[in-house]
Amino acid sequence: MGLVHYKVILSYNGSEFAGFQRQKDARTVQSEFEAGLRKIGWQGKSVLAAGRTDAGVHAVGQVVSFHLDWQHSLDDLRNALNYYLPRDMAVQSVEIAPDDFHPRFDAQCRCYRYQVFCWHVRDPIREVFAWRVWPKLDLKRMQEAGKVLIGVHDFQAFGSPTSEKGVTIREVFDLNWQQDVEGL
């Protein structure tokens, strides 16, 4: 079969990672994922990813791709990777990608979810996955304030273009604050 380009959807609890991108002397998602790949015969130098997450940031749908000579089914590839990956990360799905597929540049959109809970005392379990604030937030005012971000804007103040001819203009399609549980 030879080298095939694979696309995987990766999820991870970022609590113990120094971010996605490989770093010297730091535990990262990329380094752990590539170590798992090497255990099943991968000989590449670097996987491609849709983006990088910062230290402590979680992901439920990080797209990663790589080339691999794999002689078994897609399910077997998923299962083999999950066997060798640490418990705080898992491949959710695997598919064959076109040879020219790039997770970052072929992405059509990205979805970010920020969780906040309002509580007057620390909650060590919930604070792994959400930001605790106090006093309680005014949801109506937050919805109104968020409306100004909908549409096309230049986000140059938040980062530089990804290439020499790149732009920092992006379109925000939706922004919504919702209360899931009383007290949150």
Q: Examine the residue annotation and report whether 75 is marked as an active-site residue of this protein.
A: no
The whole-angstrom distance between residue 114's C-alpha and the CA centroid of its chain comes to 13
Question: In sequence order, which residues have a C-beta less than 8 Å from that of residue 165 and are 6 or more positions away?
Answer: none
What sign has the CA pseudo-torsion 139, 144, 150, 155? negative
Catalytic pick among 54, 69, 138, 154: 54
Strands (E), 26-118: 48-49, 59-69, 89-96, 116-118
Dist. CA 70–CA 78, nearest whole Å: 11
- Tell me if the bond preceding 98 is cis, omega within 30° of 0: no
Residue corresponding to tokens 């089914």: 73
DSSP type of residue 21 = S
Catalytic residues, by residue number, are 54
